[in-house]
A and B are shown apart, each in its own frame.
Chain A
Protein backbone atom coordinates (compact mmCIF):
# COMPACT_ATOMS: atom_id res chain seq x y z
CA UNK A 1 0.00 0.00 0.00
CA UNK A 2 3.02 2.30 -0.25
CA UNK A 3 3.08 4.57 -3.28
CA UNK A 4 5.25 3.71 -6.27
CA UNK A 5 8.25 5.99 -6.84
CA UNK A 6 7.73 9.18 -8.85
CA UNK A 7 9.27 12.61 -9.29
CA UNK A 8 7.48 15.63 -7.88
CA UNK A 9 7.33 19.20 -9.07
CA UNK A 10 5.29 22.13 -7.78
CA UNK A 11 5.30 24.73 -10.57
CA UNK A 12 4.35 28.32 -9.77
CA UNK A 13 2.64 29.21 -13.05
CA UNK A 14 0.14 27.65 -15.41
CA UNK A 15 2.62 27.86 -18.27
CA UNK A 16 5.22 25.98 -16.27
CA UNK A 17 2.70 23.29 -15.28
CA UNK A 18 1.56 22.81 -18.89
CA UNK A 19 5.17 22.68 -20.09
CA UNK A 20 5.93 19.92 -17.58
CA UNK A 21 2.84 18.05 -18.72
CA UNK A 22 3.87 18.39 -22.38
CA UNK A 23 7.41 17.22 -21.58
CA UNK A 24 6.12 13.95 -20.11
CA UNK A 25 3.49 12.81 -22.61
CA UNK A 26 1.20 10.28 -20.93
CA UNK A 27 3.61 9.78 -18.06
CA UNK A 28 2.76 12.67 -15.75
CA UNK A 29 -0.29 13.19 -13.56
CA UNK A 30 -1.60 16.44 -12.18
CA UNK A 31 -1.93 16.53 -8.40
CA UNK A 32 -4.78 18.78 -7.24
CA UNK A 33 -6.20 17.69 -3.87
CA UNK A 34 -4.90 14.14 -4.23
CA UNK A 35 -7.94 12.62 -2.55
CA UNK A 36 -8.52 10.20 -5.44
CA UNK A 37 -5.06 10.16 -7.00
CA UNK A 38 -3.16 9.13 -3.85
CA UNK A 39 -5.36 6.03 -3.27
CA UNK A 40 -4.98 5.18 -6.97
CA UNK A 41 -1.21 5.29 -6.51
CA UNK A 42 -1.45 3.33 -3.25
CA UNK A 43 -3.34 0.57 -5.06
CA UNK A 44 -0.80 0.78 -7.91
CA UNK A 45 -3.57 1.43 -10.41
CA UNK A 46 -1.30 4.11 -11.88
CA UNK A 47 2.46 4.53 -11.75
CA UNK A 48 3.24 7.92 -13.29
CA UNK A 49 6.85 9.06 -13.59
CA UNK A 50 5.98 12.58 -12.44
CA UNK A 51 3.40 14.28 -10.24
CA UNK A 52 2.79 17.95 -11.02
CA UNK A 53 1.37 19.59 -7.90
CA UNK A 54 -0.92 22.51 -8.77
CA UNK A 55 -1.02 24.06 -5.30
CA UNK A 56 1.23 27.00 -6.23
CA UNK A 57 -0.43 27.69 -9.60
CA UNK A 58 -2.35 30.94 -9.16
CA UNK A 59 -5.86 31.85 -10.27
CA UNK A 60 -7.31 28.35 -10.37
CA UNK A 61 -9.15 28.68 -7.05
CA UNK A 62 -11.77 31.32 -7.72
CA UNK A 63 -15.55 31.08 -7.54
CA UNK A 64 -16.94 33.68 -9.98
CA UNK A 65 -20.65 34.39 -10.08
CA UNK A 66 -22.24 36.79 -12.55
CA UNK A 67 -25.55 37.22 -14.39
CA UNK A 68 -24.76 34.70 -17.10
CA UNK A 69 -22.77 31.97 -15.35
CA UNK A 70 -21.11 30.56 -12.25
CA UNK A 71 -17.49 29.50 -12.75
CA UNK A 72 -15.64 27.23 -10.36
CA UNK A 73 -11.88 27.15 -10.81
CA UNK A 74 -10.24 23.73 -10.98
CA UNK A 75 -8.52 24.13 -7.59
CA UNK A 76 -11.62 25.23 -5.68
CA UNK A 77 -11.98 22.88 -2.72
CA UNK A 78 -15.25 21.43 -1.38
CA UNK A 79 -14.80 23.31 1.91
CA UNK A 80 -14.65 26.59 -0.04
CA UNK A 81 -17.88 25.76 -1.86
CA UNK A 82 -19.50 24.91 1.48
CA UNK A 83 -18.48 28.31 2.91
CA UNK A 84 -19.42 30.37 -0.16
CA UNK A 85 -22.15 32.86 0.75
CA UNK A 86 -23.56 33.65 -2.72
CA UNK A 87 -23.44 30.12 -4.13
CA UNK A 88 -26.55 28.68 -2.39
CA UNK A 89 -28.67 31.31 -4.13
CA UNK A 90 -26.78 31.41 -7.42
CA UNK A 91 -26.64 27.61 -7.92
CA UNK A 92 -28.79 25.87 -5.30
CA UNK A 93 -28.66 22.40 -6.88
CA UNK A 94 -24.89 22.53 -7.29
CA UNK A 95 -24.45 23.79 -3.73
CA UNK A 96 -26.71 21.17 -2.19
CA UNK A 97 -25.10 18.33 -4.13
CA UNK A 98 -21.63 19.44 -3.06
CA UNK A 99 -22.67 19.17 0.61
CA UNK A 100 -22.93 15.41 0.02
CA UNK A 101 -19.34 15.07 -1.16
CA UNK A 102 -16.98 13.04 1.00
CA UNK A 103 -15.95 13.41 4.63
CA UNK A 104 -14.81 16.46 6.61
CA UNK A 105 -11.07 15.86 6.13
CA UNK A 106 -11.39 15.04 2.43
CA UNK A 107 -13.56 18.11 1.87
CA UNK A 108 -10.65 20.22 3.10
CA UNK A 109 -8.44 18.91 0.27
CA UNK A 110 -10.58 17.59 -2.59
CA UNK A 111 -11.04 19.85 -5.61
CA UNK A 112 -13.49 20.56 -8.41
CA UNK A 113 -10.95 19.82 -11.14
CA UNK A 114 -9.79 16.64 -9.45
CA UNK A 115 -13.33 15.27 -9.24
CA UNK A 116 -14.06 16.08 -12.88
CA UNK A 117 -10.80 14.56 -14.13
CA UNK A 118 -11.20 11.47 -11.94
CA UNK A 119 -14.71 10.96 -13.36
CA UNK A 120 -16.03 8.54 -10.78
CA UNK A 121 -19.53 7.57 -11.96
CA UNK A 122 -20.79 7.85 -8.37
CA UNK A 123 -19.36 11.33 -7.77
CA UNK A 124 -21.72 14.25 -7.24
CA UNK A 125 -20.05 17.05 -9.20
CA UNK A 126 -19.87 15.23 -12.56
CA UNK A 127 -23.56 14.31 -12.16
CA UNK A 128 -24.65 17.85 -11.39
CA UNK A 129 -22.47 19.20 -14.22
CA UNK A 130 -24.21 16.87 -16.67
CA UNK A 131 -27.64 17.71 -15.22
CA UNK A 132 -27.07 21.46 -15.51
CA UNK A 133 -25.40 21.35 -18.95
CA UNK A 134 -22.24 22.81 -17.45
CA UNK A 135 -19.18 23.24 -19.65
CA UNK A 136 -15.64 22.24 -18.78
CA UNK A 137 -12.96 24.78 -19.68
CA UNK A 138 -9.68 23.24 -20.78
CA UNK A 139 -6.15 24.57 -21.04
CA UNK A 140 -6.33 24.08 -24.82
CA UNK A 141 -8.82 26.96 -24.91
CA UNK A 142 -11.74 24.63 -25.64
CA UNK A 143 -14.92 24.38 -23.62
CA UNK A 144 -16.63 21.00 -23.74
CA UNK A 145 -20.12 20.08 -22.55
CA UNK A 146 -19.97 17.91 -19.44
CA UNK A 147 -22.17 15.30 -21.13
CA UNK A 148 -19.52 14.88 -23.84
CA UNK A 149 -16.56 15.08 -21.47
CA UNK A 150 -17.39 11.92 -19.49
CA UNK A 151 -17.07 8.79 -21.62
CA UNK A 152 -17.13 5.97 -19.06
CA UNK A 153 -16.15 4.97 -15.54
CA UNK A 154 -12.99 6.99 -14.73
CA UNK A 155 -12.78 7.98 -18.40
CA UNK A 156 -12.97 11.38 -20.06
CA UNK A 157 -11.97 13.04 -23.31
CA UNK A 158 -9.15 14.90 -21.51
CA UNK A 159 -5.93 14.57 -23.55
CA UNK A 160 -2.70 13.73 -21.69
CA UNK A 161 -1.27 17.21 -22.25
CA UNK A 162 -4.51 19.01 -21.29
CA UNK A 163 -5.59 20.43 -17.96
CA UNK A 164 -9.03 21.34 -16.64
CA UNK A 165 -9.09 25.04 -15.76
CA UNK A 166 -12.68 25.49 -14.60
CA UNK A 167 -16.27 24.32 -14.87
CA UNK A 168 -18.90 26.82 -15.98
CA UNK A 169 -22.53 26.47 -14.90
CA UNK A 170 -25.18 28.47 -16.81
CA UNK A 171 -27.13 31.01 -14.76
CA UNK A 172 -29.96 29.60 -12.68
CA UNK A 173 -33.47 31.15 -12.82
CA UNK A 174 -34.65 31.95 -9.29
CA UNK A 175 -38.01 30.22 -9.79
CA UNK A 176 -36.55 26.92 -10.98
CA UNK A 177 -37.63 23.77 -9.10
CA UNK A 178 -34.92 21.30 -8.13
CA UNK A 179 -34.09 18.31 -5.99
CA UNK A 180 -31.06 16.23 -5.07
CA UNK A 181 -31.25 12.84 -3.37
CA UNK A 182 -28.64 10.15 -2.95
CA UNK A 183 -28.14 7.02 -0.91
CA UNK A 184 -24.82 5.94 0.60
CA UNK A 185 -24.09 3.61 3.50
CA UNK A 186 -22.29 6.37 5.41
CA UNK A 187 -22.86 10.09 4.87
CA UNK A 188 -19.88 11.19 2.79
CA UNK A 189 -19.31 7.85 1.10
CA UNK A 190 -19.69 7.57 -2.64
CA UNK A 191 -23.34 7.19 -3.58
CA UNK A 192 -24.74 3.76 -4.38
CA UNK A 193 -27.16 5.83 -6.43
CA UNK A 194 -28.07 9.49 -6.63
CA UNK A 195 -30.41 11.77 -8.57
CA UNK A 196 -30.05 15.44 -9.47
CA UNK A 197 -33.00 17.04 -11.19
CA UNK A 198 -34.63 20.35 -12.02
CA UNK A 199 -37.48 21.69 -14.11
CA UNK A 200 -39.20 24.99 -14.78
CA UNK A 201 -42.92 25.64 -14.67
CA UNK A 202 -44.99 26.79 -17.64
CA UNK A 203 -47.89 29.28 -17.37
CA UNK A 204 -50.28 26.44 -16.53
CA UNK A 205 -48.07 25.16 -13.69
CA UNK A 206 -46.83 22.12 -15.60
CA UNK A 207 -43.20 21.00 -15.68
CA UNK A 208 -41.09 21.95 -18.66
CA UNK A 209 -37.42 21.69 -19.61
CA UNK A 210 -36.93 18.80 -17.18
CA UNK A 211 -33.37 17.67 -16.52
CA UNK A 212 -32.87 14.42 -14.59
CA UNK A 213 -29.37 13.02 -14.09
CA UNK A 214 -28.27 9.85 -12.34
CA UNK A 215 -25.01 9.02 -10.56
CA UNK A 216 -23.81 5.74 -9.09
CA UNK A 217 -26.33 3.59 -10.92
CA UNK A 218 -24.70 3.87 -14.34
CA UNK A 219 -21.11 3.63 -15.59
CA UNK A 220 -21.02 7.38 -16.20
CA UNK A 221 -23.14 10.33 -15.10
CA UNK A 222 -25.99 10.76 -17.57
CA UNK A 223 -29.39 12.28 -18.10
CA UNK A 224 -32.39 9.97 -18.25
CA UNK A 225 -34.21 11.25 -21.31
CA UNK A 226 -37.23 8.97 -21.10
CA UNK A 227 -37.90 10.08 -17.52
CA UNK A 228 -37.45 13.71 -18.55
CA UNK A 229 -39.97 13.19 -21.36
CA UNK A 230 -42.44 11.80 -18.84
CA UNK A 231 -42.01 14.86 -16.65
CA UNK A 232 -42.25 17.49 -19.38
CA UNK A 233 -45.82 18.75 -19.69
CA UNK A 234 -47.03 16.65 -16.79
CA UNK A 235 -49.30 17.89 -14.07
CA UNK A 236 -47.34 17.25 -10.92
CA UNK A 237 -49.51 14.68 -9.20
CA UNK A 238 -49.01 11.24 -7.68
CA UNK A 239 -49.52 9.41 -10.97
CA UNK A 240 -46.91 11.57 -12.70
CA UNK A 241 -44.40 10.99 -9.88
CA UNK A 242 -44.84 7.25 -10.18
CA UNK A 243 -44.53 7.33 -13.98
CA UNK A 244 -41.36 9.43 -13.93
CA UNK A 245 -39.78 7.26 -11.23
CA UNK A 246 -40.61 4.09 -13.16
CA UNK A 247 -39.26 5.51 -16.41
CA UNK A 248 -36.02 6.44 -14.65
CA UNK A 249 -35.61 2.97 -13.16
CA UNK A 250 -36.35 1.36 -16.54
CA UNK A 251 -33.78 3.43 -18.40
CA UNK A 252 -30.99 3.22 -15.81
CA UNK A 253 -28.46 0.53 -16.64
CA UNK A 254 -26.73 -0.04 -13.31
CA UNK A 255 -23.70 -2.18 -12.60
CA UNK A 256 -23.79 -4.97 -10.01
CA UNK A 257 -20.93 -4.91 -7.51
CA UNK A 258 -20.25 -5.74 -3.87
CA UNK A 259 -22.32 -2.75 -2.75
CA UNK A 260 -25.57 -3.49 -4.55
CA UNK A 261 -27.28 -5.68 -7.13
CA UNK A 262 -28.78 -4.42 -10.37
CA UNK A 263 -32.33 -4.80 -9.05
CA UNK A 264 -31.50 -2.94 -5.85
CA UNK A 265 -29.93 -0.04 -7.72
CA UNK A 266 -32.90 0.22 -10.10
CA UNK A 267 -35.24 0.29 -7.14
CA UNK A 268 -33.08 2.98 -5.53
CA UNK A 269 -33.23 5.08 -8.69
CA UNK A 270 -37.03 5.05 -8.61
CA UNK A 271 -37.10 5.92 -4.91
CA UNK A 272 -34.55 8.71 -5.27
CA UNK A 273 -36.30 10.25 -8.29
CA UNK A 274 -39.47 10.32 -6.26
CA UNK A 275 -37.70 11.92 -3.27
CA UNK A 276 -35.99 14.52 -5.45
CA UNK A 277 -39.30 15.37 -7.15
CA UNK A 278 -41.04 15.76 -3.79
CA UNK A 279 -38.24 18.15 -2.77
CA UNK A 280 -38.65 20.07 -6.03
CA UNK A 281 -42.41 20.39 -5.64
CA UNK A 282 -42.03 21.75 -2.11
CA UNK A 283 -39.65 24.51 -3.23
Chain B
Protein backbone atom coordinates (compact mmCIF):
# COMPACT_ATOMS: atom_id res chain seq x y z
CA UNK B 1 0.00 0.00 0.00
CA UNK B 2 1.01 3.62 -0.52
CA UNK B 3 2.26 5.43 2.58
CA UNK B 4 3.33 9.02 3.14
CA UNK B 5 5.37 10.30 6.04
CA UNK B 6 8.14 12.72 6.93
CA UNK B 7 11.60 11.23 7.18
CA UNK B 8 14.30 13.38 8.77
CA UNK B 9 12.29 16.46 7.88
CA UNK B 10 11.63 15.52 4.25
CA UNK B 11 8.11 14.53 3.13
CA UNK B 12 8.29 11.09 1.51
CA UNK B 13 5.81 8.79 -0.22
CA UNK B 14 6.51 5.16 -1.06
CA UNK B 15 4.95 1.77 -1.59
CA UNK B 16 5.18 -0.56 1.42
CA UNK B 17 3.99 -4.13 1.82
CA UNK B 18 2.11 -4.55 5.13
CA UNK B 19 4.48 -7.31 6.29
CA UNK B 20 7.59 -5.09 6.04
CA UNK B 21 8.85 -3.68 9.31
CA UNK B 22 9.79 -0.03 9.56
CA UNK B 23 13.43 -1.10 10.13
CA UNK B 24 13.58 -3.09 6.88
CA UNK B 25 11.70 -0.38 5.02
CA UNK B 26 14.15 2.31 6.12
CA UNK B 27 17.15 0.20 5.17
CA UNK B 28 15.99 -1.46 1.99
CA UNK B 29 13.52 0.96 0.45
CA UNK B 30 14.91 4.29 1.60
CA UNK B 31 18.54 3.08 1.79
CA UNK B 32 18.88 4.65 5.22
CA UNK B 33 21.23 1.96 6.48
CA UNK B 34 22.26 3.85 9.61
CA UNK B 35 19.42 2.06 11.41
CA UNK B 36 20.77 -1.36 12.37
CA UNK B 37 18.80 -4.57 12.83
CA UNK B 38 20.19 -6.79 15.56
CA UNK B 39 17.64 -9.25 16.87
CA UNK B 40 14.47 -8.52 14.84
CA UNK B 41 12.24 -9.22 17.81
CA UNK B 42 12.48 -6.28 20.13
CA UNK B 43 15.25 -7.30 22.52
CA UNK B 44 18.42 -5.44 21.50
CA UNK B 45 17.40 -1.84 20.72
CA UNK B 46 19.84 -1.40 17.80
CA UNK B 47 16.95 -0.44 15.48
CA UNK B 48 15.63 2.38 17.68
CA UNK B 49 14.25 5.34 15.72
CA UNK B 50 12.06 8.26 16.77
CA UNK B 51 8.43 8.38 15.60
CA UNK B 52 6.43 11.49 16.50
CA UNK B 53 8.90 12.32 19.26
CA UNK B 54 8.95 8.88 20.88
CA UNK B 55 11.81 6.38 20.70
CA UNK B 56 10.49 3.08 19.35
CA UNK B 57 11.84 -0.24 18.15
CA UNK B 58 11.54 -0.10 14.37
CA UNK B 59 11.66 -3.91 14.14
CA UNK B 60 8.43 -4.02 16.19
CA UNK B 61 6.67 -1.44 14.05
CA UNK B 62 5.30 -1.95 10.57
CA UNK B 63 6.24 0.56 7.90
CA UNK B 64 2.52 1.08 7.23
CA UNK B 65 2.08 2.14 10.86
CA UNK B 66 4.36 5.09 10.17
CA UNK B 67 1.90 6.46 7.60
CA UNK B 68 1.29 10.11 8.47
CA UNK B 69 4.06 10.21 11.10
CA UNK B 70 7.32 12.10 11.56
CA UNK B 71 10.22 9.64 11.58
CA UNK B 72 13.76 10.52 12.62
CA UNK B 73 16.68 8.14 12.09
CA UNK B 74 20.34 8.48 13.04
CA UNK B 75 20.90 10.16 9.66
CA UNK B 76 18.62 12.96 10.87
CA UNK B 77 20.53 13.68 14.07
CA UNK B 78 22.76 16.20 12.37
CA UNK B 79 21.38 17.65 9.15
CA UNK B 80 24.58 19.69 8.65
CA UNK B 81 26.74 16.59 8.57
CA UNK B 82 28.77 17.73 11.56
CA UNK B 83 28.55 15.63 14.70
CA UNK B 84 25.62 16.53 16.95
CA UNK B 85 26.55 17.32 20.58
CA UNK B 86 25.48 13.79 21.57
CA UNK B 87 27.55 12.21 18.79
CA UNK B 88 30.53 14.40 19.71
CA UNK B 89 30.24 13.27 23.32
CA UNK B 90 30.20 9.64 22.16
CA UNK B 91 33.43 10.22 20.24
CA UNK B 92 35.10 12.05 23.09
CA UNK B 93 34.25 9.32 25.62
CA UNK B 94 34.98 6.38 23.28
CA UNK B 95 31.38 5.31 23.78
CA UNK B 96 31.52 2.81 20.95
CA UNK B 97 33.76 0.03 19.79
CA UNK B 98 32.27 -1.96 16.92
CA UNK B 99 29.50 0.62 16.54
CA UNK B 100 26.69 -1.78 15.72
CA UNK B 101 24.52 -0.72 18.67
CA UNK B 102 25.46 2.97 18.39
CA UNK B 103 22.59 4.21 16.17
CA UNK B 104 20.10 2.74 18.62
CA UNK B 105 21.97 4.17 21.60
CA UNK B 106 22.06 7.61 19.99
CA UNK B 107 18.38 7.66 19.04
CA UNK B 108 17.30 6.38 22.46
CA UNK B 109 19.35 9.02 24.25
CA UNK B 110 18.34 11.76 21.82
CA UNK B 111 14.66 11.06 22.53
CA UNK B 112 15.25 10.86 26.27
CA UNK B 113 17.33 14.03 26.55
CA UNK B 114 14.99 16.00 24.29
CA UNK B 115 12.14 15.17 26.70
CA UNK B 116 14.15 15.06 29.91
CA UNK B 117 17.32 17.14 29.54
CA UNK B 118 17.92 16.97 33.28
CA UNK B 119 17.66 13.15 33.44
CA UNK B 120 19.99 11.91 36.17
CA UNK B 121 22.45 9.09 35.71
CA UNK B 122 20.07 6.55 37.24
CA UNK B 123 17.36 7.50 34.74
CA UNK B 124 19.84 7.30 31.86
CA UNK B 125 20.92 3.83 32.98
CA UNK B 126 17.31 2.70 33.36
CA UNK B 127 16.45 3.86 29.83
CA UNK B 128 19.58 2.27 28.36
CA UNK B 129 18.37 -1.03 29.85
CA UNK B 130 16.53 -1.46 26.55
CA UNK B 131 19.71 -1.26 24.45
CA UNK B 132 22.32 -3.99 24.34
CA UNK B 133 26.01 -3.26 23.77
CA UNK B 134 28.19 -6.35 23.58
CA UNK B 135 31.65 -4.80 23.40
CA UNK B 136 32.18 -1.32 24.85
CA UNK B 137 30.32 -1.71 28.09
CA UNK B 138 27.99 1.00 29.29
CA UNK B 139 30.25 3.21 31.40
CA UNK B 140 31.54 5.43 28.53
CA UNK B 141 28.06 5.51 26.97
CA UNK B 142 26.55 6.78 30.23
CA UNK B 143 29.40 9.29 30.60
CA UNK B 144 28.76 10.60 27.08
CA UNK B 145 25.04 10.90 27.75
CA UNK B 146 25.65 12.79 30.99
CA UNK B 147 27.99 15.22 29.25
CA UNK B 148 25.59 15.79 26.33
CA UNK B 149 22.73 16.78 28.63
CA UNK B 150 23.74 20.42 28.74
CA UNK B 151 23.28 20.75 24.97
CA UNK B 152 19.62 19.73 25.38
CA UNK B 153 18.88 21.93 28.37
CA UNK B 154 18.70 25.21 26.45
CA UNK B 155 15.74 27.20 27.68
CA UNK B 156 14.25 24.24 29.55
CA UNK B 157 14.20 24.89 33.27
CA UNK B 158 15.21 22.12 35.64
CA UNK B 159 12.04 20.56 37.07
Contacts and interface: CB of A to CB of B under 8 A. Distances in A.
Contacts, number: 85
Contacts of B48: 105
Interface stretch (B60-68, B89-97, B147-155): B60-68
Contacts of A264: none
Given A6-B18, A108-B54, A188 B60 contact: no
A109 interface: yes
Interface string B14-27: 00011111001000
Contact of A108 (B20, B40, B55): B55
Contacts of A43: 41
B98 interface: no
B13 to A, nearest CB: 17
Contacts of B1: 8
Given A108-B54, A108-B55, A2 B42 contact: no
B143 to A, nearest CB: 19
Contacts of A79: 54
A109 B40 contact: no
A2 B19 contact: yes
Interface in A6-46: 6-8, 10, 31, 34-35, 38-39, 42-43
A48 to B, nearest CB: 11
- Is chain A's binding surface mostly helix, strand, loop or mixed? loop
B87 interface: no
A283 interface: no
A4 interface: yes
Q: How would you classify the secondary structure of chain B's contact residues: helix, strand, loop or mixed?
A: mixed
Contacts of A5: 17-19
Contact of B19 (A3, A39, A102): A3
Given A6-B18, A79-B54, A187-B126, A34 B62 contact: yes
A1 B65 contact: no
A51 interface: yes
Given A6-B19, A39-B42, A104 B60 contact: no
A108 B65 CA distance: 14
A55 B64 CA distance: 11
A43 B55 CA distance: 24
Given A8-B62, A188-B129, A109 B56 contact: yes
Contact of B21 (A3, A109, A188): A3
B42 A35 contact: yes
| Pairs of residues from A and B, 6 with the lowest C-beta to C-beta distance, nearest first | A103-B130, A8-B18, A108-B54, A39-B41, A1-B40, A3-B19
28 contacts: A1-B40, A1-B41, A3-B19, A3-B20, A3-B21, A5-B17, A8-B18, A8-B64, A34-B62, A35-B42, A35-B57, A38-B41, A38-B60, A53-B65, A55-B65, A102-B130, A103-B129, A103-B130, A104-B127, A105-B45, A105-B57, A105-B108, A106-B42, A108-B54, A108-B55, A109-B57, A109-B61, A187-B126
